[in-house]
Structure 1
Amino acid sequence: MKKILLYFFILFCSKTIAQSTTTAEAKSNNPVFKGWYADPEGIIFDKTYWIYPTFSAPYEDQVFLDAFSSPDLTHWTKHSRILDTTAVKWAKKAIWAPSIIKNKNKYFLFFGANDIQSDNEIGGIGIAVASKPEGPYKDYLGKPLVDKFYNGAQPIDQFVFRDKDGQCYLIYGGWRHCNIAKLKADFTGFVPFKDKTVFKEITPENYVEGPFMFIRNNKYYFMWSEGGWTGPDYCVAYAIADSPMGPFKRIGKILEQDSQVARGAGHHSVIKAPDSDKYYIVYHRRPLTETDGNSRETCIEEMFFDENGFIKPVKITHEGVNSNPLK
């Protein structure tokens, strides 16, 4: 009898522990994958979620990019070194902030490299191309697409935006300046605007870096990061306009650190789930236990709007988002 009771006691305890573990795992989805990764761009290709982040390390060690894929925003597969400096001869370090777009069955990965500080240095924004989202990627142009400081914008933090009419734009810039330029259909260069200028400045108030744009209900939501990336003031703010050209008047912050959760929340992207009005913000943050500026990890939260279309402040969490299979 004692053996039977002991058996059921052990079985009960094991089941309780298993349930607790499963619940804990289900509620602890942030960070979404292991490792120090920042500046994440999230996107959907063929019913699969993808994240393309910066490998967060000293500049000299940032010589490659990894990617991550998931069917449900919860279980992630790592794709190592989809691009590295062996494939881009002019890139030596500081490969940053990838932005990807599919165009004519090819995948074009835009990236910044070398952290150039003047027009006299080699580097800037480049493009790599592959036939699959996971690569391998190779240099598309053999040189940077943008290698100069137009309108004061450092050529980093590139985002490729496709408008409703199919026209693609490059939106980019560090050093508190943001430019927009109209890309050629084959991404080999730019098409001048009607006034014959190529790079137009669309910098909103408090802009620092990390631009991102999406369309919702025919409105253009322009988002960016403010503050210093190693400091407590790093955050995400946004504006709304009727055109990708703006003008963009700052509305306010919607993502920032939480002293109970993590520091330095910023440099984000947004994923819209297909056939729904669900939006997710993908961003990086620094754990409370870390003091190294490069100790950044990638996280996801659901993003909500009010009845007037304004973005509600996002609460950063350890829970993240629940499993959300793509159908």
Structure 2
Amino acid sequence: MGFDKSFLCASIIAQLVLVTVCQQNPVFPGWYADPEAIIYGNTYWIYPTYSSTEQLHFDAFSSPDLVTWTRHWRIITNSEVTWARYSMWAPSVFSHLGKYYFLFSANAINSEDELGGIGVAISDFPQGPYRDLLGRPLINAIANGAQPIDQFVFKDVDDTFYMFYGLESLQFGYVEGPFMFRRNGTYYFMWSEGGWGGPDYRVAYAKSSSVFGPFVRERTILEQDPNIATGAGHHSVINPPGTDDWYIVYHRRPLSETDANHRVTCIDRMFFDDQGNILPVQMTNEGVTGPILP
């Protein structure tokens, strides 16, 4: 179904002029977090975590313009991923050779004696349905102390794929939610800091001339705003082809909410200075309108 933003809009008559005030953040209704945004063809897609104590399925959302969204229900559930027993979250997606891949975290294991980790599913279509590709986790190991969660797949300009994952590190203040993109020859490695259930959840980044680093932490660029929302983090970034327009897709917690799972998906613009540094992101209620993709 498509979501009409009129449910968030109000018409105001002032001095005989009709003014429409429209709130586009959150971009769709419901508790959704950890949004992985990507462009497939001429369509924007968001694959979020269903933010509940029972995280056993995923929905997806598609849009031609970042404003009007269509929900695709239950693109994969734990009935397909039989080893995912009590939680599935943090999608990461990509396409390759005509197939669509959907990675996810499951079971939040704390030792390699437990069954869980990073899973991978496959489909012929962006909206699924997706099927478990291996029937077991792709990664079950805890490498260098990194719990196998919050994976992100980055495709470099030479078509090489890299996966980043893990929970907490002594470097940078990294906690979780890695993301990488490349702009003007610079690699930007981003992550979330703070506790996901608290108000101080936030996004920081580092830069390097190589995908392998070394990365130098720059600054926090997204954090709570006492006038807008708290708990802003676990994001992704999209850049419409042929433009230098950048959008950060993230979750945040409305000021009226205290439940850790009450998170909504939002989109705001992301800008750079002349030295290629990311400027602090201003959270808004108005949101964005994206270009129509060719």
C-alpha separation in 1, matches of 2:98 and 2:127: 13
**Does residue 23 of the first structure (1) align with residue 17 of the second (2)?**
no
The alignment-based identity, stated in percent, is 57
C-alpha separation in 2, matches of 1:140 and 1:258: 41
**Corresponding residue to 2:86 among 81, 93, 100:** 93
**Does residue 245 of the first structure (1) align with residue 212 of the second (2)?**
yes
**Corresponding residue to 2:284 among 310, 317, 321:** 317
C-alpha separation in 1, matches of 2:199 and 2:258: 11
Q: Post-superposition, which runs of at least 4 consecutive aligned residues in structure 1 deviate over 3 A?
A: 14-17
Report deviation, 1:311: 0.2
C-alpha separation in 2, matches of 1:131 and 1:316: 35
Equivalence for 2:133:
140
**Does residue 42 of the first structure (1) align with residue 42 of the second (2)?**
no
Equivalence for 1:173:
166
Equivalence for 1:5:
none
C-alpha separation in 2, matches of 1:107 and 1:236: 28
Equivalence for 1:207:
174
Residue 24 of structure 1: SS of its match in structure 2?
A: strand
Aligned pairs (5 A) from 1:211-230:
211-230=178-197
Q: CA RMSD in A?
A: 1.7
Deviations 1:253-276 (A, max 9, x none): 000010010000000000001110
C-alpha separation in 1, matches of 2:117 and 2:83: 10
Report deviation, 1:93: 2.1
Instruction: Give the strand-richer structure, 1 or 2.
Output: 2
Equivalence for 2:28:
33
2:12 touches 2:21 (CA, 8 Å); kept in 1? no
Equivalence for 2:116:
123
C-alpha separation in 2, matches of 1:15 and 1:115: 49
> When the two structures are aligned, how many residues end up with a matched partner?
283
**Corresponding residue to 1:267 among 223, 231, 234:** 234
Report deviation, 1:323: 4.7
Equivalence for 1:193:
none
Q: TM-score normalised to the size of structure 1?
A: 0.84
Equivalence for 2:74:
81
Report deviation, 1:230: 1.2
C-alpha separation in 1, matches of 2:172 and 2:69: 36
C-alpha separation in 1, matches of 2:20 and 2:289: 12
Deviations 1:130-162 (A, max 9, x none): 000000000011110111211111100010011
Report deviation, 1:15: 9.4
Give the gaps of 5 or more residues in structure 2: 1-10
**Does residue 294 of the first structure (1) align with residue 261 of the second (2)?**
yes
**Corresponding residue to 1:103 among 96, 99, 103:** 96
**Corresponding residue to 2:52 among 49, 57, 74:** 57
Q: TM-score normalised to the size of structure 2?
A: 0.93
C-alpha separation in 1, matches of 2:266 and 2:176: 19
Report deviation, 1:52: 0.3
2:149 touches 2:165 (CA, 8 Å); kept in 1? yes
Letter in 1 for 2:56: V
Give the gaps of 5 or more residues in structure 1: 1-13, 178-202
Instruction: Give the helix-richer structure, 1 or 2.
Output: 1
